[in-house]
Structure 1
Amino acid sequence: MSNYDVVILGGGPGGYNAAIRAGQLGLKAACVEGRATLGGTCLNVGCMPSKALLHASELYEAATGTEFANLGIEVSPTLNLAQMMKQKDESVAGLTKGIEFLFRKNKVDWIKGWGHIDGPGKVTVTGDDGTKTDLSAKDIVIATGSEPMPLPGVAIDNQRILDSTGALSLSEVPRHLVVIGAGVIGLELGSVWRRLGAQVTVVEYLDRICPGVDGEAGKTLQRALAKQGIQFKLSSKVTGAATSASGVQLQVEPAAGGEAQTLDADYVLVAIGRRPYTQGLGLENVGLSTDKRGMLANQRHRTEAPGVWVIGDVTAGPMLAHKAEDEAMACIEQIAGKAAEVNYALIPSVIYTRPELASVGKTEEQLKAEGRAYKVGKFPFTANSRAKINHETEGFAKVLADERTDEILGVHLVGPSVSEMIGEYCVAMEFSASAEDIALTCHPHPTRSEALRQAAMNVEGMATQM
């Protein structure tokens, strides 16, 4: 039996960051991961490969549409989908190798296989060849992540009916791709294939896209995507699917009930969310059980079982890689005897479509429900010099501030590269900044970031760049 200070189950963003931090703090750490590569869903079949395809498809559309021509760049591009997929895979491989290097640098052991908790402080790892390795540790961290949520009546085969993994690896551009679910994954992957030439229809059970985002921001993004050619069927549910060698017939009816219709597609992407991966971990051997969603409860990352911790998608909170990373740091630092916490009120969220949507803090709907008096400052990218010069003027910056104290309560951005700009407000809000603090802070000109300052200025109706 190999003895460790901490054994971490799962090598995704939560797990590998926990392992690296443990090594940095001088703990003897092992990370159990059964995939052939480290990085979990995010690096292998999620965040990173999807961004590689988003970037490539944006450039392809710019070259094949009017964007390059309007800039005076005349080209005649052709799509080499195999090469696009190859460069995606090469980028992902480089990132996963980077984690292996950090493991070696920080003296972390990667135990290859699938972990099972046999009792307090005991883990058995089963390799792909059936060999078993016994581990012991003072502390065990569960960071096993999540998996795509299935949809009854629509069986995923990754031939014609795809999950997100299958949609990242198609060998041809769909003629008609139907996306079930208007959340982050569905909109991002739908955008990729729409830009590469597919007709894309998004079917959503609710009456809006991206539930949970600021309502005005969500509507603005939907209008932009619809203008690009994505069709939306909201307040609709899929009740069945029939596959053939050449396609899929979906039965779709109104969510409130009514006459069904048939949608013909050659591929269907099921993107209705993700569920925690907690089955088969041996939780019962330490007295743990999940809720009906499969999630484990925690108090500051501790479970009810002594010495067992939980982080990432397997516990409460948004299923985001950066949330798992923050929890990893806080969890390991507590194990090492340090003080640490995660500010769950300030975890940003991003949808990497074009335009992007980025948010942090409260939405207008949440503030109204709380009965909290607030002020709104908005600034459109149509009035931002850099956005106008770059012909990317869709969207706006919106700042919500407390009516009495001027403290920033929420920020919602729709526009170009806003994923790179939301961090400014994350920092500001971590220090309880007021809108006036941002309004008085010099920003470089001409940049898109000036829209952030102008929105803060406009909380008091003082925007100057209109």
Structure 2
Amino acid sequence: MAEITAKVLVVGGGPGGYVAAIRAGQLGLDTVLVEQGGAEGGLGGTCLNVGCIPSKAVIHAADAYHRAVEQTAVTPFGLRVEHPAIDFARTVEWKDGIVGRLTSGVGALLKRHKVKIVQGHAELVDGKTCKVETDTGPQTIRAEHVILATGSVTAPLPPLPFGGKVISSTEALSLQTIPKRLVVVGAGYIGLELGTAFAKLDAKVTIVEAEDRILPAYDTELVRPVARRLQALGVDILLRARASGLAEDGGSVLIEDGSGSKRSLPADRILVATGRRARLEGFGLERLDLTMNGRFVAVDERCATSMRNVWAVGDITGEPMLAHRAMAQGAVVAEVIAGHRRVFDSAVIPAVCFTDPEIVTVGLSPEAARQAGREVRVASFPFQANGRALTLGAEDGFVRVTARADNHLVLGIAAVGAGVSELAGSFALALEMGARLEDIGGTIHAHPTLGEAFHEASLRALGEALHI
């Protein structure tokens, strides 16, 4: 049996794992990364292979097709086109090409920084040793430090096990044809992002949600424009409803509402999008004496576990399950191992929902700030009064700023509107740097841009709004 020794062993090649490995390599640490690959990814993990990147590619293609369909009628600015068609198999091929380029790039970066990549199934023996089944035989890896970055997996729904017509987001992103009737179970961000995309691709979409509203993780004010758009796209939404299984003929999904009444919905595909769970099984985690935080590995502000020199990053450590959170944690751990004084600060993690329109949140909502005992100033600026939004034909939405009433320190920023995902960095930077309303109001924003709504919302909170 071949044996490898290293300073750092990273188990998992997703965003948290590969960034930890790259940063460790940059810092001169002898590093080995083990990645199994499989249905939910290889290097780059779920996000790059079957999640964030491919879903945004499909969303973009769906947007382009739907815009072209809308332009078969004369647009307000005079454009008219013939009815378009889309070859969805070619769309998937294009998406796969993007994924391939990015995964190859991750591999090249790891090699550039002298990280040894071991492909195969990892099985932890203890807190310093891992056995890997590779194509060329078993290998043992011993390391001073072990970083757990095993990510998460799609959470199954017991009444609707995956298989046949019942698919997860992974299969939804690789369909060769567009289903005529798609039932989406779950109205969180994954279900709504993909449900919206397929609705734009002319599928008849029905969304089934057990809660009393869509996107329950976001406040109602932000969700309202998304709900309007779903209605305009002809998406049916069933709230306070649960999927209880397939009909006997397999052609319909059985739905039960809050009153106990049942109905069946014909479906060509049933997308189960009820969330993800940490990947805790299958790699020997039970052999480690780790403190758990429910269904997650407990870590401190340095991402250290309860075992010395065992670290954990990404989805395995809990919510929010976001790639950029995992990346930040991975970089912190590598620097701590290298002797730097670093902690992971979770106060400023932007969240983006790529629905139509998009939603961005950073920091506290007004309600959360008040629940924390803060007296706040809250102000919004609508895109209806933003010149750039009007020229884009995308005026539904707004930017909202929440700040302390006493010293005007910004506590939270949110936006809903077309393209607002690109404002996430500005919002996060403002909170990270401890900006006050006066800082944002005193910053000259380029005209005409969507970012001016951020400027105007801050001025409005100060009672100094110029354009409303």
Question: Residue by residue, what CA displacement relative to the aligned partner does 1:98-125 show, whole Å, maximum 9, x if unpaired?
Answer: 0111011100111000111101311111
Q: Which residue of 2 aligns with 1:143?
A: 149
Pairing 1:442–2:449 present: no
Q: Which residue of 2 aligns with 1:463?
A: 465
Q: Which among 253, 258, 261 is matched to residue 256 of structure 2? A: 253
Q: Which residue of 1 aligns with 2:198?
A: 193
Structure 1 residues 103 and 81: CA distance shift in structure 2, 3 A: same
Structure 1 residues 222 and 42: CA distance shift in structure 2, 3 A: same
- Secondary structure at 2:297's aligned position in 1? coil
Q: Which residue of 1 aligns with 2:392?
A: 390
Q: Which runs of 5+ in 2 are unaligned?
A: none
* Cα deviation, residue 430, structure 1: 0.8
Structure 1 residues 67 and 419: CA distance shift in structure 2, 3 A: farther
Letter aligned with residue 131 of structure 1: G
Tell me how far apart the structure 2 counterparts of residues 228 and 370 of structure 1 sit (CA, whole Å): 38
User: Matches of residues 272-351 of structure 1 in structure 2 within 5 Å?
Assistant: 272-288=274-290, 290=292, 292-293=294-295, 295-299=296-300, 300-351=302-353
Q: Which residue of 1 aligns with 2:70?
A: 65
* Cα deviation, residue 290, structure 1: 4.3
Letter aligned with residue 115 of structure 1: A
Letter aligned with residue 355 of structure 1: P
Tell me how far apart the structure 2 counterparts of residues 304 and 11 of structure 1 sit (CA, whole Å): 23
Pairing 1:106–2:108 present: no
Question: Comparing 28-37 with 5-14, which one deviates more in the overlay?
Answer: 28-37
Structure 1 residues 312 and 105: CA distance shift in structure 2, 3 A: same
Q: Which residue of 2 aligns with 1:74?
A: 81
Letter aligned with residue 450 of structure 1: E
TM-score normalised by L of structure 2: 0.95
TM-score normalised by L of structure 1: 0.95
Q: Which residue of 1 aligns with 2:235?
A: 230
Q: Is the 8 A contact 1:177 1:265 kept in 2?
A: yes
Q: Is the 8 A contact 2:240 2:257 kept in 1?
A: yes
How many aligned positions are there? 460
- Secondary structure at 1:97's aligned position in 2? helix
Q: Is the 8 A contact 2:182 2:271 kept in 1?
A: yes
Question: Residue by residue, what CA displacement relative to the aligned partner does 1:353-372 show, whole Å, maximum 9, x if unpaired?
Answer: 22110010111221232232
* Cα deviation, residue 292, structure 1: 4.7
Tell me how far apart the structure 1 counterparts of residues 73 and 61 of structure 2 sit (CA, whole Å): 15
- Secondary structure at 2:7's aligned position in 1? strand
Instruction: Give the 4+ runs in structure 1 shifted more than 4 A.
Output: 289-292
Structure 1 residues 364 and 68: CA distance shift in structure 2, 3 A: farther
Sequence identity of aligned pairs in percent? 39
Q: Is the 8 A contact 1:149 1:273 kept in 2?
A: yes
* Cα deviation, residue 73, structure 1: 4.3
Q: Which residue of 1 aligns with 2:56?
A: 51
Tell me how far apart the structure 1 counterparts of residues 73 and 433 of structure 2 sit (CA, whole Å): 42
- Secondary structure at 1:250's aligned position in 2? strand
Q: Is the 8 A contact 2:401 2:414 kept in 1?
A: yes
- Secondary structure at 2:247's aligned position in 1? strand
